[in-house]
Structures are given as C-alpha cells and as structure tokens.
Amino acid sequence: PRPILLTRHGESLDNVRGRIGGDSVISDSGELYAKKLANFVEKRLKNERAASIWTSTLQRTILTASPIVGFPKIQWRALDEINAGVCDGMTYEEIKKNMPEEYESRKKDKLRYRYPRGESYLDVIQRLEPVIIELERQRAPVVVISHQAVLRALYAYFADRPLKEVPHIEMPLHTIIEIQMGVTGVQEKRYKLM
C-alpha cells in the first residue's frame, strides 16, 4: 500500500496577520516546519524512488517544498487555495464589518457559499477532480502540500467524510496526515511536527 501524505504549507505571513487568500511567503516558523517536513519525507520515503511532491502554484507551498531534495516536484493550479474573490486579502473581522451580508451567508451555508468573483467549497471540490484521478492512478507515494480548504476537500474524499462536513474539518498547520489505501480500507496516521 502506498501512502499519500497531506500537509498544509508552513505558516505564512498572511496566516500571522489573519488575512485570507493572498500569495505571501512563509514566516520563520513556517520555514522551520519546511525543514522538519523535508527531514520527515526524506526518512519516510527513502527507497521510494518514484515518489513525488505536489504543490499548488502559490509561493507558500513552493517554499514549504523547497528544502525537500531527491524527488520531482509538480505544481498544480488545482491545488491553489479557495479563491476568496473580492474578500481576498481581508481578515474575517473586516469581512464581518464591511460586508456583513456576505459574512452571514457564508456562515449559514459554508459549503455552497461562493465568494463574489471567487469560489465556493463545491467549486473547489469540482476542480479537484483531475487531481484525485491522478492520485488514484499513482502507484508511488505522493506528498501533497496545499491549503486549508483544498486539503479539507481532498481529505474528505479519501476518508469518506460526508459533503456537509467538508468546510468544518480540522486541518491544523504543521501537521502531516498520512493516508494508506489498502484492501481493508483507508488507514490514517497523523504527525504533528511542531
């Protein structure tokens, strides 16, 4: 059975500021995670010569992957974070204050709510289809370095969690979720690196 390792990028400057979306770099703590992740991956996947590292096209995932050596890296736009449209770069507080109707509609139905000029969770789930097809086809391990909303959707698919739960799944920073698909079903392990 080949593992799929899911992780968010190391903490970004926007995470520190509480801003959503954007394309910021990683913080010092995020860089430390990137090093620990590289160490973990190189140990966990040694002798797995066909393994690969998949990131989004955003800086924070590419920087998180950068200390990992010895495996090919592939960037997928489909792994980019949920597009927050007109709210990109705002804090949740700013959205609540300046766009209270948007804030309330999202709270009411986070799965279906679509940011103006952006995406909903359902949109994200749909655009992940080619990634999932490719992940299912892989015979070698894959490390997926992506973002909170996208990883909720990917995780829910593999762990067979109901659609309505997707936007609420806990997806902490600096933690690796290892998924093993075997004949008896899906097994999961978590590694909190810091």
| Catalytic positions | 8-9, 15, 60, 81, 147
- Pairwise CA distance, residues 161 & 154, whole Å: 10
From residue 56 to residue 85, what is the string marking binding to ligand F6P with x (rule CB under 6 A)? Answer: -------------------------xx-x-
Sign of CA dihedral 16, 60, 43, 169: positive
Smallest separation (angstroms) from ligand F6P to the CB of 83: 9
Give the residue, chosen from 149, 153, 176, 177, that forms a contact with ligand F6P under the rule CB under 6 A: 149
Smallest separation (angstroms) from ligand F6P to the CB of 137: 27
User: Token pair of 123, please?
Assistant: 């949109």
From residue 87 to residue 126, what is the string marking binding to ligand F6P with x (rule CB under 6 A)? Answer: ----------------------------------------
- Contact indicator for 40, 179 with CB cutoff of 8 Å: no
**DSSP 8-state code for residue 1:** -
Query: Looking only at residues 20 through 49 of this chain, which bind ligand F6P when binding is defined by CB under 6 A?
Result: 20-21
Buried b (16+ CB within 10 A) or exposed e, 160-191: eeeeeebbeeebebbbbbbbeeeeeeeeeeee
In terms of CB distance, is 17 or 46 closer to ligand F6P?
17
